[in-house]
Chains A and B, each alone.
Chain A
Amino acid sequence: MHNRTLEIGVGVFVALGLAALLMLAMKVSNLGALSGDGGYELSARFDNIGGLKVRSPVTMAGVRIGRVLDISFDNETYEAVARFAIEPQYNRLPKDTSASIFTAGLLGEQYLGLEPGGEEDFLQAGDEIRMTQSAVVLEQIIGQFLYSKASEGEDK
C-alpha cells in the first residue's frame, strides 16, 4: 500500500514537471503563436532594413500575420532582401501590397508592416513585394532637420 502511494506521488511529480515544460513551451515561448514552418513565403527589398531581425513580426492592420524568416544582402543591387512567411489562412493579400518597416513605440523593436493595395490578384508563394519603404534611421532625420535649419538661417 505504501508502495502504491509512493508511485502515485512520483507519477504526479513527473506529470507536474512535464506540464510545466509544456506550459513554458506553449504559453511562454512562441510555439503556440506560430508553428514557424507553416504558411507561404514572400520577399521584399529594402534600401535599409534598420533594426529588423529574423523572427521579427510581420503585421497587417496591426495584427501579426507572419514572421521574418531570413534577411540577406544583394550584392548586385546593394539592397537588403527580407524573406518572410505569412500564415496560410491569410492568402488574400493583393498583388500591390506595400511593405514598410516601422518601429513599435519610441524605443520598441522594429517590425514589417504590410498595407493592402487595390488589385484583384493575390500574392502567391515566392512573390516579391515591389513597393517598399525603408526603415527610418533617426540619425538621417536629425541630419536632414539640422541641414534644413541651417539653410533656413542662410536665407534670412
Chain B
Amino acid sequence: MMDLLQQLGQVGLQAFQRLGRGSLFFFQVLLGFPDLIRRFHLVVVQLWSVGVRSLLLIVVAGTFVGMVLSLQGYNTLVDFGAEESLGVLVALSLVRELGPVVSALLFAGRAGSALTAEIGLMKATEQLAGMEMMAVDPLRRIVAPRLLGGILAMPLLAALFSALGVIGGYFVGVGLLGVDDGAFWSQMQTKVDLNDDILNGVIKSVVFGVAVTWIAVFEGYDAVPTSEGVSRATTRTVVHSSLAVLCLDFVLTALMFNG
C-alpha cells in the first residue's frame, strides 16, 4: 500500500519536474529569439523543413476534409431544405475548429516528431555537447530557430488547410451536389465574421504552434541520449502534443466562443 502511494508520488513529482524544466527551457529559448533577427537564415532553413515539407500533407488533408464535410453536411441539411447553408457549415467548422486542430495534429506527426528525432540524435551523438565546447549555445543555435520556425509555420499551414477545405467543399457542394453557387458564398459571407471566427482561428493555430513545437524541441533536448531514448522521446512528442492540442482546443473554444 505504501509502495503504491510512493510510486504515485514519484510519478507526480517527476511530471512536475519535467513541466518545470520544460518551462525554464522555454524561457531560455525565448531569450535567444532577439539574436535570430540577425541570423534569420537559420529560421528560413527551419521553415523549409517544418513548413514546406508539410505542405503536401496539409494540402491533401485540407482539401479532402472540406470535401467530406460538404458531402456529409449536404446529406443532413437537405432534409431541412437548408442546403444553401452548406457554405456556412463548411466554412465555420473549418475556420473555427478543424483547420487549426487537424493541421496541428498532422503537424505534430509530420514535423514535431522529426524535430524531436533530430535534436535527440544530436544529443545522442554528442553534437550538442561539442557545440558547448566551442562556446556555441545550442539553445540559441539549434533550438531557438526551430521553435520560431514552428511557431511561424503553424498559422500559415492552418490557414492553407482552411482555405483549401473551403475550396474542396465548394467543388463538392456546388459542382457535384448542385447547391446554388451564389447562396453558398453569400450565406458564408454573412455568417462568418472576420474577428470572431477567422482571427480566433488564427490565434488558436498560433497557440497550437507554440505548444507542439515547444513539446517537440523539449522532448528532443531532454531525451535520454541513446537510440532507445530518442525513439521514446519521438513517440512521447506525438502523443503529448496531440493531447495538448485537443485539451487546449477545448479551453480556447470555451474562452472564445462562449458568447
Contacts and interface: CB of A to CB of B under 8 A. Distances in A.
A32 B189 CA distance: 8
B194 A13 contact: no
B47 A13 contact: yes
Contacts of A12: 52
Interface residues of A, number: 26
Contact of A10 (B52, B95, B192, B198): B52
Contacts of B24: none
Given A7-B44, A10-B44, A29 B155 contact: no
B156 A28 contact: no
A23 B95 CA distance: 12
Judged by DSSP, the binding face of A is helix
Per DSSP, chain B at the interface is helix
Given A24-B95, A24-B198, A29 B52 contact: no
B157 A17 contact: yes
Interface stretch (B15-23, B158-166, B249-257): B158-166
Interface of A: 6-7, 9-10, 12-14, 16-21, 23-25, 27-33, 55, 57, 107
A28 B47 contact: no
Interface in B42-82: 44-45, 47-48, 51-52, 55, 80, 82
Contacts of B162: 20, 24
Nearest to A11: B44
24 contacts: A6-B44, A7-B44, A9-B52, A10-B47, A10-B51, A13-B48, A13-B51, A13-B55, A13-B156, A14-B51, A17-B157, A18-B159, A20-B160, A20-B162, A20-B163, A21-B156, A24-B159, A27-B189, A28-B198, A29-B192, A30-B192, A32-B189, A33-B189, A57-B190
